[in-house]
């Protein structure tokens, strides 16, 4: 998701805010901001919403110095740079992402013209780059030159109010990056959690005396991961300054009793350890409804990082929309709510893991860039962010484009290109698991840190899959970890769970230990790790077999070096200790 400095300069006209050339705002001179050629696949139009229903309109203003933010991100994240590890404070980041004063004036004038008092905003980010206001559907339609519809997503039973296109006064295109809810149809319910329950397993305790317990051939526990990734002898000590955040959606709740059962069976020295739950945007913490995804995440992050503090962010939205209601309640925007919440905090965890995502093509480009810039803020402040790479290989379903052409192409994931974690299976040796998401973005170009390894892989493919993927796109995954047969306690019972949802929290747990190691040695946290890991691939176990089929193809193949199935490979904690301490 993050791009090279050269690409940033090339995209300046798309990403930066510039002073408006005129104080007069012609609200009648509308220019389209984004549109879909057809209703996004999986959704169907139901009817027109009540024009007096209220929605929360989120306005993302263009960030005046975001090029400096990206430059700073790379400088503080690149080994051997004189700024390496010198992460920015919240206040320093806010200065770089604040909109130009002329942009603020133009947006507020636009709101006032439509009878919306900007002082009544329900939310303003500390930098001023995001503002939320409550307006009626009819008012939003007037402001955006559009028509809203009520749409249904039968697979997830979601109802949302969205548009197929929206426009802004021509001059506001210089001031506004994105407005939502508009054309992004993702919701908490329609986002995919990248985990699935496998066949039932017996309830055994691993033999931790073996180098790699024999039971790990059929199921994964904490002991298996400690042995595979060489963390067994490490005891964290910087627990007052280090923490790990798990971001949860979909009404998934991490259960405290299940965690104790899990620790009793698989990490006895950690029994009694608790995690903190923070609710975001009306999230809940219903201990009577343990979630498979949430329990998988928290059981393995706690189990691997103990005694480091863990925080589970239960990220909600509005209650499910009732199509017979006169009040629109489900206009929630995934990613935006949690990102704006966490960035408003002065102190944030050094490591995060998230196991939810969309197909990149379902996310409007301007929305994707805005979310990307928010993740850049996290990285600049010293946080490492892991995302599951997805469970559909190079693409699930028919892989048809949604631009009206019905062209079949590989479908990259979003936002798996922050630091994306693919999946492996087995241990003698580990191989890339067939569902491991991987590929090449069509939105973001190859960053400089991975240019050489990606070019080498693309060259090795020759004409294979020519035209099905973007040869110059940001490639993922970056790393990989086990992704099958994880023993998870849910409602007191043991389940076998698979997916890159298991891989991402595993990686987060290991890098939390690496952050602990640095902090204990009076160094900074690692932050955005991609430049570091691509310059030090020797810290990982190279995975050289496996493939990720999809789109009626065999998909990509794991090879020596980086590949779009397992990235640079799986972690070796001891080798990485030497790298991050240098």
* Positions marked active-site: 293, 297, 501
Half-sphere exposure of 564 (CA within 13 A, CB side): 35
561 is in an annotated binding site: yes
Q: Are 105 and 28 in contact (CB under 8 A)?
A: no
Read off the DSSP letter of residue 299: H
Using alpha carbons, select from 451, 417, 420, 422 the residue that is nearest to residue 436.
Answer: 422
563 is in an annotated binding site: yes
- Burial label for 91, CB within 10 Å (0-12, 13-18, 19+), is exposed
Q: What are phi and psi of 402, to 5 degrees?
A: -105, 25
452, two tokens: 């050489």
159, two tokens: 């109802």
Strands (E), 261-416: 276-280, 310-315, 351-354, 356-359, 384-388, 413-414
28 is in an annotated binding site: no
Cα(509)–Cα(499) distance, integer angstroms: 16
508, two tokens: 């987060």
Residue ranges of alpha helices (H) inside 345-431 are 365-380
Cα(497)–Cα(262) distance, integer angstroms: 14
Percent helix, strand and coil across the chain, each to the nearest 5:
30, 25, 45
Cα(128)–Cα(77) distance, integer angstroms: 26
Report the DSSP pairing between strands 165-169 and 413-414. Answer: unpaired
Specify whether the backbone of 311 is left (phi greater than 0), alpha (psi in -120 to 50) or beta. beta
What three-state secondary structure class fits 17?
A: coil
482, two tokens: 């086990």
Cα(152)–Cα(133) distance, integer angstroms: 25
C-beta neighbour count of 26 within 10 angstroms:
11
Report the DSSP pairing between strands 310-315 and 244-248. Answer: parallel
Report the DSSP pairing between strands 384-388 and 351-354. Answer: parallel
Annotated binding site for Ca(2+): 542-543, 561, 563
Annotated binding site: 542-543, 561, 563
């Amino acid at each position: 998701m993050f791009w090279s400095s050269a690409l940033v300069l090339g995209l300046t006209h798309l990403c930066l805010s510039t002073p408006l050339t005129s104080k007069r705002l012609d609200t009648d001179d509308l220019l389209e901001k984004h549109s879909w050629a057809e209703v996004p696949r999986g959704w169907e139009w139901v009817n027109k919403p009540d024009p007096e229903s209220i929605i929360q309109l989120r306005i993302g203003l263009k960030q005046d110095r975001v090029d400096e933010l990206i430059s700073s991100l790379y400088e503080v994240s690149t080994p051997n740079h004189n700024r390496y590890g010198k992460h920015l404070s919240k206040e320093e980041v806010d200065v770089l992402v604040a909109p130009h004063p002329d942009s603020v004036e133009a947006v507020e004038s636009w709101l006032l013209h439509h009878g919306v008092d900007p002082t009544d905003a329900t939310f303003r980010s500390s930098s001023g780059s995001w503002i939320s206001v409550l307006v009626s559907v009819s008012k939003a339609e007037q402001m955006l030159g559009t028509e809203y519809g009520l749409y249904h997503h039968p697979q997830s039973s979601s109802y949302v109010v969205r548009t197929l296109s929206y426009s802004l006064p021509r001059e506001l295109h210089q001031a506004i990056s994105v407005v939502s809810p508009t054309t992004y149809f993702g919701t908490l319910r329609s986002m995919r959690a990248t985990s699935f329950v496998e066949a039932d397993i017996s309830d055994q305790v691993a033999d931790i005396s073996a180098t790699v317990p024999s039971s790990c051939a059929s199921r994964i526990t904490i002991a298996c991961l400690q042995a595979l990734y060489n963390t067994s002898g490490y005891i964290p000590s910087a627990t007052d300054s280090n923490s790990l955040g798990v971001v949860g959606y979909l009404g998934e709740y991490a259960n405290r009793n299940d965690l104790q059962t899990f620790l009793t069976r698989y990490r006895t020295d950690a029994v009694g350890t608790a995690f903190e739950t923070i609710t975001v945007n009306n999230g809940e913490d219903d201990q009577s409804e343990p979630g498979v995804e949430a329990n998988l995440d928290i059981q393995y992050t706690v189990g691997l990082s103990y005694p480091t503090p863990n925080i589970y962010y239960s990220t909600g939205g509005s209650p499910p929309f009732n199509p017979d209601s006169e009040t629109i309640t489900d206009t929630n925007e995934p990613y935006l709510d949690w990102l704006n919440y966490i960035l408003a905090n002065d102190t944030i965890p050094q490591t995060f893991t998230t196991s939810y995502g969309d197909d990149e093509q379902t996310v409007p480009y301007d929305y994707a860039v805005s979310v990307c810039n928010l993740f850049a803020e996290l990285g600049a402040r010293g946080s490492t962010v892991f995302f599951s790479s997805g469970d559909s290989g190079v693409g699930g379903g028919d892989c048809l484009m949604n631009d009206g052409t019905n062209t079949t192409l590989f479908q990259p994931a979003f936002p798996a290109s922050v630091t994306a974690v693919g999946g492996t299976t087995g241990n003698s040796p580990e191989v890339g698991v067939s569902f491991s998401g991987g590929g090449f973005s069509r939105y973001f170009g190859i960053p400089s840190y991975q240019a050489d390894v990606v070019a080498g892989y693309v060259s090795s493919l020759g004409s294979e899959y020519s035209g099905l993927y973007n040869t110059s796109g940001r490639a993922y995954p970056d790393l990989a970890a086990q992704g099958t047969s994880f023993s998870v306690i849910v409602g007191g019972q043991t389940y076998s769970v698979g997916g890159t949802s298991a891989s991402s929290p595993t990686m987060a747990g290991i890098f939390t230990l690496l952050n602990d190691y640095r902090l204990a040695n009076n160094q900074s946290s690692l932050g955005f790790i991609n430049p570091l890991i691509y310059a030090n691939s020797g810290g990982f176990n190279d995975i050289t077999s496996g493939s990720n089929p999809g789109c009626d193809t065999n998909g990509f193949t794991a090879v020596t070096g980086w590949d779009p199935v397992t990235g640079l490979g799986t972690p070796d904690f001891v080798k990485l200790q030497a790298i991050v301490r240098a």
